[in-house]
Amino acid sequence: MMALCYPHKTGMIVKLFDRSIRQKSVALAVALLIGLMMSKALSASNENSVAPLATFDFAIAETLNAIGNPPRFLSGLEGYETYSRQSGIIPNTTNLGFRHLPNLELLASDPPQHILISPPAHASLLPRLRKIAGVKEYPLYNHADIDGDPNGWETIKELTRQLGDLAGNPSAAENYIEQSNEHFASLKRALNDIDSPVLLVRLLDERHARVYGAGSVEGMVLNHLGLQNAWQGDLGQWGMTTVSATPLFDIESTLVFLDSPYGPDGGVRQLLSDGQWRHLPSVEQGNYTIIPVNYWSWGGLPAARRFADSLASHLIEDGNTIDSYQ
């Protein structure tokens, strides 16, 4: 329930906006339900189609799965399930072991048609991989457009098209892109009343945090939801950078803390209860939310959609806190 207080001759009058919050929540729920139904329909139409492909990259694997052609082999499958917080998220796929140490003997025992990688990761394995099967390379988050600006959204859409062509399923790829565009448009409409800048933060320890911007999945999602990114400082090659607490004290924003699936239970709340993080203005005002990470930070359209769904749900759920400090 959201309350807005303002002075009046007779004291303080509180207006409640339950109806507004309910309407936004319903709009979000409808958007999520439509997206889920369309995605399931697409997967159902191709549930028995398993492309003879292998990959060591989660963005490639989840995109193939989303268009109904899960890879036959994936290295690091257990790690991907941890990040997505969902076991069996990519069915009918053989785990090749650790992501950066794939079991090439197992791969060679049943060679796929192609091995798909995203350099610079696994580039050192190219000579050995080419002895097993043809290798295709798909650079992703170090990509920049002709002006030198990160253009991740177009890159992951193009990845989806390329994988659809490779799997012999181009129509499924185009359908998934169209669904994703419509899904983001629905979420954006549900969030159109939120104009507070959003600062995405992952606490690393008592003194250091990671912030996100253009060139990352997180920054890309903020942009496509029409939300303003509060972080306007420098970023690294991958659209993120590590900072101390000091520069965050001067940023007025809604704080969104990303809770890593590899951290201890309640890790973010513990860090916020002790030390300097609790003194951040947004934390002292209660103007923050915590989102469990359930997506791969260098993922494709599926990762972007999972993060967008989670972010939108939390921002609307906490809309009373957000709006009350505007």
Neighbours of 197 (CB within 10 A): 16
Q: Give CATH 3.40.50.1980 domain extents, the chain.
A: 3-35+187-324, 48-183
Q: Where are the beta strands (DSSP E) in 142-299?
A: 198-203, 208-212, 240-244, 254-259, 288-292
pLDDT tens digits, one per residue of 192-226: 988 899 999 999 999 999 999 988 899 999 999 99
Beta-ladder partners of 74: 55, 95
pLDDT at site 91: 85
- Structure tokens, 139: 């650079």
pLDDT at site 114: 97
Burial of 240 from C-beta contacts in 10 A (0-12 / 13-18 / 19+): buried
DSSP 322: H
pLDDT tens digits, one per residue of 81-130: 888 888 888 988 999 999 889 999 999 999 999 999 998 889 999 999 99
In CATH, which superfamily holds the domain spanning 48-183?
A: Nitrogenase molybdenum iron protein domain (3.40.50.1980)
Residue partners of 224: CB distance under 8 A and separation at least 6: 153, 184, 188, 304, 308
Residue partners of 235: CB distance under 8 A and separation at least 6: 212, 213, 214, 215, 216, 241
Q: Rounded to 5 degrees, what are φ and ψ at 170? A: -65, -30
For domain 3-35+187-324, the question of CATH label 3.40.50.1980 is answered with: yes
Per-residue pLDDT of the chain (326 residues; tens, 9 = 90+): 343 343 444 444 334 335 554 555 555 555 555 455 444 444 444 443 444 899 999 999 999 999 999 999 999 999 898 888 888 889 889 999 998 899 999 999 999 999 999 988 899 999 999 999 999 999 887 654 444 556 688 999 999 999 999 999 999 999 999 999 999 999 999 999 888 999 999 999 999 999 999 888 999 999 999 999 999 998 887 889 999 999 999 998 999 999 988 877 778 998 998 778 999 998 998 889 999 999 998 899 999 999 999 999 999 876 543 332 22
